[in-house]
Amino acid sequence: MKNILILMTLASLLACGSVFKRGSSEKEPAPEPLSKIEASIDLGQQWAFDIGAGLEEAGQHLVPAVDGEQVYTADPEGQISAAGLSDGKRRWSTDLDAVISGGVGAGDGLVLVGTSKGVVYALDARDGKELWKSRVSSEVLTPPVTARGVVVARSGDGRVYGLSAVDGTPRWSFRRSVPSLSLRGAGAPSLYEQVVVLGFASGKIVAADVESGRIIWDVSVTQPRGRNEVERLVDIDARPVMAGSVIYVAAYQGRVTALALGSRRILWARDVSTYNDLSVDDANIYVTDEQDIVHALDRLTGTTVWTQEALKRRRLSPPTAEGDHVFVGDREGFLHALRKSDGKLIGRYKLKDGAVIGAPIQRGSQLLVLTQGGMLTSLTPKN
């Protein structure tokens, strides 16, 4: 189970039963043994880049960002770096002397991170120079994003901020209540033209105008079920994904839902529980659920196209669907390639330095994979 943020008394927690941290080797069952596969794809290493300190538990919130010809990384101790996509060589590095808890965002010439003390930093993407910093109300656990001269950041207390991309001055904010018990984390904001879309721990999804912060709509896509607060968790920790005019969103102990952007009508919903980001292509939605089963769901109907159960209990990363393949990483540092048409395992690569963190990032012919020890590796998939 993913880390859970307990915002209640010890007596209330005990009444709900034991809650374990996802990633604890003492509490997790043994992963499914890997069987032999007939590989039809080769995953060769191009380069490896040491981002700085190891990620440990903070790693799930510190995913790299690619913009232009550079990839940007952050470690928990405050080192923000840029590396060239072509060769993996360091272009610059900046030490913020802060505990980084949310990042990395990149765009419009900015590199953006947030800290455990509620500070959002903006660096110049060209040389890493600090341009501004702005304080928000609490810890930042997701990458800030930027569009139309506004940086959107969210804090752990349910507040969302629009900051000036020029100097960090607050332009707007709004808040949604946070349940007394919730998963530690939050879904990163998604930007679509002039609209920012966010999911909340209440099971609601909110769309707001990025320039003014005006709420456009607020829709509940899943409802709490169960007899106690743990069973009733319905956090939307996955980033909402838009394809065409449809938004796809997933909730823990809830559903994967397709929502029409214009009418706000729910087109379909499937009972699949996940806190991982989704991946979308022209035909399907790809999901790694809380039991580490990989699902392909039809985009139009939500019906199951295939499932792959051979990686259960391996603490899978979010999936990345690209070309003819779906890629997922696991807790032992393996990257797995699945055939997109039927989910068959067709490739495997062992990475260094622990569990895979975040979704593999596809950029052209490159696949970028971050591991818990702080190593970013560029692989080149070849059939």
Nearest partner of 62 among 6, 2, 105, judged by Cα = 105
**Higher-confidence residue: 124 or 231?**
124
Confidence of residue 227 (pLDDT cuts 50, 70, 90): low
**Interacting residues of 31 by C-beta distance below 8 A, sequence separation 6+:** 312, 313, 314, 315, 330, 331, 332
Average pLDDT over residues 37-62: 86
Tokens of 68: 């232009």
Residue 81 has pLDDT above 60, yes or no: yes
* Residues in the chain, overall count: 383
Q: pLDDT band at 179, cuts 50/70/90?
A: low
| Listed residue (199, 84, 181) closest to 142, CA to CA | 199
Tell me: pLDDT of 180 over 70.
no
Average pLDDT of span 62-68: 95
Lowest model confidence (mean pLDDT) among 13-22, 311-320, 322-331: 13-22
Other C-beta atoms lying within 10 Å of the C-beta of residue 86: 12
Q: What is the mean pLDDT of residues 45-53?
A: 94
The structure's pTM equals: 0.88
* Cα separation, 84 vs 66, whole angstroms: 10
Residues 6+ apart with CB under 8 A from 86: 69
* Res 228 pLDDT > 50: no
What pLDDT sits at residue 51? 95
User: How would residue 183 be classed by pLDDT, with cut points 50, 70 and 90?
Assistant: very low
* The pLDDT value given to residue 235: 65
What is the token pair recorded at 319?
């999936």
Percentage, residues of the chain above pLDDT 90: 64
Q: Residue 230: what pLDDT?
A: 45
d(CA 91, CA 106): 15
The predicted pLDDT at position 337 comes to 97
Q: Please give the pLDDT value at position 185.
A: 54
Q: Residue type at 273?
A: S
| Run of H or E including 10 | helix 10-16
First to last CA, the chain: 35
Distance, in Å, from the CA atom of 238 to the CA atom of 189, rounded to the nearest integer, reads: 10
What's the CA gap between 173 and 18, in Å, rounded? 36
How high does pLDDT run on average in the chain? 86
15 has a pLDDT exceeding 60: no
Residue predicted with more confidence, 164 or 1: 164
pLDDT band at 346 (very low <50, low <70, confident <90, very high): very high
pLDDT of 59 above 90: no
pLDDT at 9 over 60: no
- In the prediction, which pLDDT does 251 show? 82
At residue 297 the predicted structure's pLDDT band, cuts being 50, 70 and 90, is very high
Establish how many alpha carbons lie within 13 A of residue 161's alpha carbon, considering only the half-sphere containing its beta carbon.
Answer: 26
What's the CA gap between 314 and 33, in Å, rounded? 9
Number of neighbours of residue 239 by Cβ within 10 angstroms: 23
Band the pLDDT of 275: cuts 50, 70, 90.
confident
Strand 256-260 relative to strand 181-183, pairing: unpaired
What is the pLDDT at residue 365? 87
CA distance 23 to 316: 11
Distances from the Cα of 283 to the Cαs of 13, 300, 304, in angstroms?
Answer: 42, 8, 12
pLDDT category, 262, cuts 50, 70, 90? confident
Distances (CA, A) of 68 to 82, 83, 84: 11, 11, 10
Supply the pLDDT for residue 86: 95
Residue 19: pLDDT over 80: no
